[in-house]
Structures are given as structure tokens and as C-alpha cells.
Structure 1
């Protein structure tokens, strides 16, 4: 199999440098268009003075939006991301030129550059993505575990955005012997289910010795070891497993940032909220806002606020039901409010009050929390932090997925928490506004099976 390391850090740095050069050429071309070849020195000098700060902001936004992460994308993602980043850059440049007193920087150049840079960068990223696909290619995968774990892994890989990972083998018994026999035909060994400890260690040794990538599922035992602290006690090194919580200092800073940001967003979004309230009143009977009891940090109950998107009688006969794709209870205006996430805006008030955070696990209703706790004993861990308007599961997973998958995303978020991660999630939440699937409810239970092109080994 291919030993290519794909697009490593060095290649990504080169791509970032070329991004900056192309962005600079887009500015130069925009000046050329605006002034028809005769570029005034005073205007171009203002751009040159601000250029270092512009390029730093440009690279930071590209990194935060995951522009340089290729494995989970398709060409349409680069179009969305390029437009979003260049639009944000337009606002950043306007603010920057005001603060820096570079008043000779023409506003028309910002508009023209938005169009030109989006075109230049998108074309360049198509080239880079095609090169990535040619250089890194498809990765052949062997999934290992019980029948259900392997079938679920195959379903997830086959429904991913791109087809970079191709599953060729599913090993459902005699794990070590079958892996050893067929390992030369694959690039990745994915331990999708629980395996007896001694056999698992032998598989680890086999994969590392043969230079094969090893994927592990997000089971509780694997998540416990995320972000460990390594300590040296005399002549022994000890691994301290971190818990599923955020330190008090980080929690105070997170709460302060949430309060200030939600207050600003409420002021900015007030016109949208006012128009939404009027539309709801005109198109359906019932109140504008919808209150519902949810669970947040330390199992505390609170009333979540949302714009009403369903009929008033939605659950009078059925009782509590999770929202689903193609939900007949949703009002006509409610579909648009959900797809654009406008129905979530009143939750900024919940953030101000301290019931919620901007980023965190999505809050669930007591009825479902009790149900999920019975099915998964680790469900309570997601309530070690405040629930959020958006979260790791919403950005990196699918909205239409089961609670166990969402729980794994939530626990990963808690383990990996940092201020930068919150910024990243908030910025990438903008992207999912374009994703229709992410605004739907849970899917009906999917049928799991082994495709014909997957060799099943026992």
C-alpha cells in the first residue's frame, strides 16, 4: 500500500504562503481594475501599511475555519468556506483601516477584492484539493469488532462527504489472526468495537511494527485517555487521566466572554428577531416564543427560549417526541427559521442569564435525559458543563444522528476544551447554515448490513 504521508504540516505551510501571495495578487488586481491601470500611490500605500495585519488575519481565519484540513471535505465546502472567510475579511479590513487611521484605503477596493479574491482563491483551492486527492489518494480500511460495530462503521464511512476511506475488510472474529493475514492490503486498521485487552495489545504491536495507521472508536475507555497529564515520580513516568470537566478558571473566563458576546449579538440581531416575531404572528396561531424545560450544568432545569416553529398542539396527543427529518408538525415559516437557525436566537437570553453557554452540548428535555441515562451510564458527564446554543456535535457531526454519537462528540469537546476551540466552533457554525441536513431532526433507524464489496472475515 501507499506510504504517502499526504499533506503534512510542511505542505500546508507552503499552501498557506501561496494563499497569501494569491490574496495579495487579488488586491493588486482590484486596484488595477478600480483605477484602470493608474494606481494612486497614496491609496496603494494605505494598503501596504495595513497588509501585514490583513495577511495575519487572513491566515488565522483560514486556520480557524479549517481551510487546510482536507480529508473531510468536498469542493462545495471550499466554495462556502472561501465566501465566508472573504466576507469576514471585508469586515475585518474595514475595522482595521479605521483603527489604524488608514483612511486612504478605498472602500470600493474592499468590495472588488471580495469578488476577485473569492474567485482566485476558490480556483486555487480546487487545484490544491485535486492535488491532495492525487497525492494522498484513497485509504483502504479494515474494520474490526462485532457485527453491529463493523456495520455501523461501514455505514458512517460510506455516507461521509468524500470517499477517501474505502472499507475492504470487516473482521468480526479471530481478530489478530485475520488482521495479520490481510493487513498488507490496507492502510488503516480501525478498531470499531470492544476487543479483549490482551488481544488488543497484540493488535497495537502488529499495527505499529508494520507502520499501519490505527483508528480507535470513541468508547469511554478511549476517551478517558484523551489529553492526559504525564508526571515523573522518581524514576517512573505516570499517566494521569484528565476528568470530564472544565477548570474553575476556564469556566469563569468562558462565562464572562459568553455574557459580553451574547449581549452584543442580541443588540445586533434585534431587527431580525423583530421581523421574525411579526412573521410568526401573521402565519400561525399561538405565542411567538416557545418555552420548554431543559437540563443544563449539574442537572439543573431551566426554561429554554426559542421562536415557535411548530403548531401549538404539536405534542398534545403524542407526548414528548424528538424532532425528526420531514417533521409534519413544523409550520411553513418554521422550516425557514430552522434552516437558517433563526429560531435559536432567543437562546441568547438564556446565555445572558447563565443557563446556557454559546458553545456546549445541546440541552435536552428531562424526559429524554432520563431515558438516555438508562441506556448509557456515562450520559451524566455531558452535564458537567453548561449546555450551549451550538456545539462540537453540531459542527463536526450530523444533527440527524443518535444520542450516543452526540454524547461522544460532547465528551470529546469537554476533554479538548479551550478558548480557541470555542472560537473555531462559533466560526464554523456559520458554515452549517448552508447545510440542509444539519437543520433536520433525527433520522429514522437505518438498516445496517455488509455491502457486497466488503470481505467479511470470521
Structure 2
């Protein structure tokens, strides 16, 4: 789906420029408030010398957190991202003024500007978001496919936090005839993967000629076409499909960054890890840290380290079982450790020993990997990269997403991989900590029946 739907790049650049001006205004107001209207030039000059770097970091952080992508946002998202970015920016400005020797840039002004900028930017962003909703409107979606395959698609649209897309109709048979008959009532057609190749081509040809947007899912057939290399051989253009792998040079850089960042994070979080281990030992029987066999790059087995959040005998009788929402096996303190992702901190040692990366597909247990491979022949492709502490599926999906959906997220990550994507995922993982849904287990069941409010064409 097109993330720039409603606002093109030019509008987003203008919005970013206005935000830089608003941020500058918030700092100036902070100086004005701090010094009762008599701003000392000596202090203000330090800010002037640093502001180019401050504005660059301001824009970079907001872009990485996706603040200028509106189609999947809510007002609460805007609030959370604004606060997180301004907190990080405040810390980074203090660091910049130290290393840049701009000591006369008052810390009090930086702290006051955190409050003023958060308020001003949030009000501005809500106004822009409302304008976006007014311009882009709500798009009417028609889902096309077999009845037993489209229920989950409709469920996802109906449960999205932002109602930018509303499913109004479903075509279960006689596809092209029904699409032609009702084309004027919809804006977008979602084509399910179960249609034959010829049916898809016929539908796409008709929709393109009628300037209608087309959605398709992330099936292997579609993912294989992502990030192609276009070559010209004599008088023919050839499309070379990319593999589901990360290039050796990027993998080396990624590994180097992982080692440096993991070592620093172990030092910084060591007090939290020591306190967590003590709390676990005091509140339940069993080890504070437990080891469990998982699968990583090259389908190799390794021991993953985690703080124990379940009772020590959680799977004694049941055997391997996926965690569920409201899982009764979770200890009282384990619930909070999972919600804050503190239980994952020992995996920093897995990153150091090379069995995991900071970012990558979440590792599964051999028992479940064997099951998933039987159900999906492409499941092994996720093992072309190291397993990760956090990943694309964890940031953009839900914890309760089924394994096929998670696999699609993982394959999108591998296909689109670049170093900036890793940084973006790491930063957005901070936002996920504030999302209660993301810390739940696998849902028992979802209602995939077609609601009565949706028109059905056969």
C-alpha cells in the first residue's frame, strides 16, 4: 500500500521545513522564558553554532520514526512518537553541546524546549493529520477472492487503528464481471493470492485502464519481484530477480555494528539486568535466566538466553506450546518483564557470540520450525540471515500475528534490507514498548467471517 497516498513527497518536504521552523521557534521561546525576555547573546550564539546539527538530527529522527507517513497512524501514535523523539533529541543535544564545546548553551533551556517543542509540534501534527484525513478521505476497498481466503484480509482492515481503508464489498466468484459491474462504487481492489494467473492479469489490466488502485498480499510470488535489477542487453530490457539474502559486504558491516552496540548496551543495562535477576529469584522458584534451543542463520541450533517469565515447570506436562494472550503460565513479574521487553535483554550476549543480530527474524524453536516448514515450503528462507532480538514483524506486525504473516514480514525485511532499515527498526522498537497489543501472545482464534455490512457479489 502506498504510504504517500494523499500527501506526495513535495508536501512532506514542506511539512518537514515548517517543523524545523516550529522547533526553532520553540527553542527561541525557551530562551525568552528562561531569561525573562532578555536573551544573553553569549548563550544564544552557542545555540546558533549548534542549530544546523540539531535540525539535521531532528529531521533524521522524525523520518526514521515515520512521523511523516500518515496512512497507518492515529492521533495517539503522533503523541507517542512526538514525545519519544523529543526525549531522544534532548539527550542528543546535550551530548552535542558537550562534544562541540558549546557549553554556554544552557541545559535549562534544552529542558524547557523539550516541553515547548512537544506541545507546539503535537498541535501542528494533529492539524496536519486532520488535513490529511480531509484530503485523502476514506478509501472504499473491494476484496476479491475465495470466501475461505478473504476473511482474514477483511478482519485486518476492520481492526486497523486508522480507518483510512474501509472494506465495502467482497467478490467471491465471477470476478471480472462483478468488478466491471461495480467499479464505480470502489477506490481500491484487493486481489487475493488464490486467483489464477490469467484471472489476475485480466483484472489488473482492467483496473489499470480505469485508474483504480490495486492491492496484493505479500505472497512468495509477489515478494520474488521486489527490488529487481533492471538490465539492458542489446535491444531488450531484462529483469533480474534478487535473492532472499543480505550481501556479504552489508552482512559484515551489520555484524560489526551489532558487536559494538551490543557491548555498549550490556554496559548500560547491566544494573537493570542485575535487579531483574534478583526480582525473579525472590518471586518464583527456578533460575533467573533460562536457555532454550532456537534456530538461526543456516538453520543452526543455538541456546537463546532470556529472563524467565513463566514458571519453571510451564511445559513439563504440555511439551512445547506457543505463548498465548493472557497465558496463565506467566508469573506476576513476568507479565511486566514481557510488556517492557526486559526479558529479552540477556539476548545481547547472543548478539556478542554471533548466534543472533540486533535486528532480524525472531528465532523459533526446532519443534515449531519443523511444523511451519511442513505448512509453508518457503519458511527456510528466513534462516538466510541471523535471528534478531527485534525485527520487522515485531515493529510493523503484532505479537499475535500467525507464523505465515510473520514470515512475510521477515521476507520483506530481507528483500528490502539496508543499514538504515536496521536503524529505523531499532528506533521504532522503542515505540512498540508503549503498545499493549505487541506484548500479547498468539491469539486463540479470530473471527474471519464476512460481516453483514459488507456487500457480497458472486
TM-score by length of 1: 0.98
Where do 1:279-358 residues align within 5 Å?
Answer: 279-358=279-358
Where do 1:39-58 residues align within 5 Å?
Answer: 39-58=39-58
Q: Residue 60 of structure 1 aligns to a residue in which SS?
A: helix
Per the TM alignment, residue 194 of structure 1 is displaced from its structure 2 partner at its CA by 2.0
Q: Residue 381 of structure 2 aligns to a residue in which SS?
A: helix
Where do 1:359-370 residues align within 5 Å?
Answer: 359-370=359-370
Deviations, residues 390-409 of structure 1 (Å, cap 9, x unaligned): 00000000111110000000
Find the aligned partners of 2:175 and 2:150 in 1 and give their Cα distance. Answer: 12
Per the TM alignment, residue 290 of structure 1 is displaced from its structure 2 partner at its CA by 1.2
Per the TM alignment, residue 145 of structure 1 is displaced from its structure 2 partner at its CA by 1.0
Decide whether the 8 Å contact of 2:277 with 2:288 is kept in 1.
Answer: yes
Decide whether the 8 Å contact of 1:258 with 1:351 is kept in 2.
Answer: yes
For the pair 1:156 / 2:156, whether they are aligned, the reply is yes
For the pair 1:168 / 2:168, whether they are aligned, the reply is yes
Number of residues of Structure 1 aligned to a counterpart in Structure 2: 455
Decide whether the 8 Å contact of 1:144 with 1:193 is kept in 2.
Answer: no
Q: Name the residue aligned to 2:98.
A: 98
Moved runs in structure 1, 4+ residues, more than 6 A? none
Structure 1 stretch displaced more, 298-307 or 202-211? 202-211
Find the aligned partners of 2:192 and 2:217 in 1 and give their Cα distance. Answer: 5
Q: Residue 433 of structure 2 aligns to a residue in which SS?
A: helix
Find the aligned partners of 1:254 and 1:120 in 2 and give their Cα distance. Answer: 37
For the pair 1:263 / 2:292, whether they are aligned, the reply is no
Per the TM alignment, residue 189 of structure 1 is displaced from its structure 2 partner at its CA by 0.9
Decide whether the 8 Å contact of 1:150 with 1:193 is kept in 2.
Answer: no
Find the aligned partners of 1:314 and 1:151 in 2 and give their Cα distance. Answer: 34
Per the TM alignment, residue 84 of structure 1 is displaced from its structure 2 partner at its CA by 0.5
Deviations, residues 318-350 of structure 1 (Å, cap 9, x unaligned): 110000100000011101100000000000000
Q: Name the residue aligned to 2:423.
A: 423
Q: Name the residue aligned to 1:118.
A: 118
For the pair 1:59 / 2:56, whether they are aligned, the reply is no
Q: Name the residue aligned to 2:412.
A: 412
Find the aligned partners of 2:8 and 2:232 in 1 and give their Cα distance. Answer: 32
Find the aligned partners of 1:108 and 1:148 in 2 and give their Cα distance. Answer: 60
Find the aligned partners of 1:73 and 1:451 in 2 and give their Cα distance. Answer: 24
Structure 1 stretch displaced more, 142-151 or 41-50? 142-151
Where do 1:64-143 residues align within 5 Å?
Answer: 64-143=64-143
Q: Name the residue aligned to 1:242.
A: 242
Per the TM alignment, residue 74 of structure 1 is displaced from its structure 2 partner at its CA by 0.4
Q: Name the residue aligned to 2:6.
A: 6
5+ residue gaps, structure 1? none
Per the TM alignment, residue 419 of structure 1 is displaced from its structure 2 partner at its CA by 0.1
For the pair 1:198 / 2:198, whether they are aligned, the reply is yes
Decide whether the 8 Å contact of 2:231 with 2:240 is kept in 1.
Answer: yes
Find the aligned partners of 1:5 and 1:140 in 2 and give their Cα distance. Answer: 14
Find the aligned partners of 1:390 and 1:403 in 2 and give their Cα distance. Answer: 16
Decide whether the 8 Å contact of 2:5 with 2:71 is kept in 1.
Answer: no
Find the aligned partners of 2:401 and 2:199 in 1 and give their Cα distance. Answer: 31
Deviations, residues 220-258 of structure 1 (Å, cap 9, x unaligned): 100000000111111111111111111111111111110
Per the TM alignment, residue 5 of structure 1 is displaced from its structure 2 partner at its CA by 5.5
Q: Name the residue aligned to 2:254.
A: 254
Q: Name the residue aligned to 1:386.
A: 386
Find the aligned partners of 1:26 and 1:275 in 2 and give their Cα distance. Answer: 38
Find the aligned partners of 1:238 and 1:176 in 2 and give their Cα distance. Answer: 30
Per the TM alignment, residue 149 of structure 1 is displaced from its structure 2 partner at its CA by 2.3
Per the TM alignment, residue 381 of structure 1 is displaced from its structure 2 partner at its CA by 0.4
Decide whether the 8 Å contact of 2:246 with 2:414 is kept in 1.
Answer: yes
Per the TM alignment, residue 151 of structure 1 is displaced from its structure 2 partner at its CA by 1.2
For the pair 1:229 / 2:253, whether they are aligned, the reply is no
Per the TM alignment, residue 447 of structure 1 is displaced from its structure 2 partner at its CA by 2.3
Per the TM alignment, residue 148 of structure 1 is displaced from its structure 2 partner at its CA by 2.2
Find the aligned partners of 2:357 and 2:148 in 1 and give their Cα distance. Answer: 36
Q: Name the residue aligned to 1:32.
A: 32
